[in-house]
Amino acid sequence: MKTANIGIILVVLLIGLCGCFGFGEKRACRKACTAIEPLETNLEITKADLEKGMYFGNLIQKRQGTPNNWIHASEGQHNSAWLSKEKSKGRRCDCTNTYGDNKQ
């Protein structure tokens, strides 16, 4: 019985550590970024953007065709951008902050 309790405690601690290291936050961020709808329907992501893995623009400048695994970072700064998973390493996601449920 004590072994089962220790196992449960270890699982709870592991889940807590995952949250502390941002694994759950990243997933929530990507989900929120995916939910943001582009305002300007005539503005589409280009092949060059896809090859670079990023393009500059604020949250409401999301382009049609932006991949679902891209996030937005640095909102309100001159270098705000939509970034691929590879380019977003070490960058804080903006989608779950002020504009978390933005459906604009």
Sheet containing 71-73: order of strands: 54-56, 81-83, 71-73
What six digits make up the tokens of 58? 């604020």
Total-model pTM: 0.65
**Sign, Cα dihedral of 58, 41, 63, 101:** positive
Place of tokens 């589409």: 44
Question: Going along the chain, which residue ranges are E strands?
Answer: 54-56, 71-73, 81-83
pLDDT at 17 over 50: no
Looking at residue 13, its pLDDT comes to: 43
- pLDDT band at residue 58 using 50, 70 and 90 as cut-offs: confident
Looking at residue 54, its pLDDT comes to: 96
Looking at residue 7, its pLDDT comes to: 53
pLDDT at 37 over 70: yes
Residue type, 67: P
Return the closest-CA partner of residue 43 out of 82, 96, 85: 82
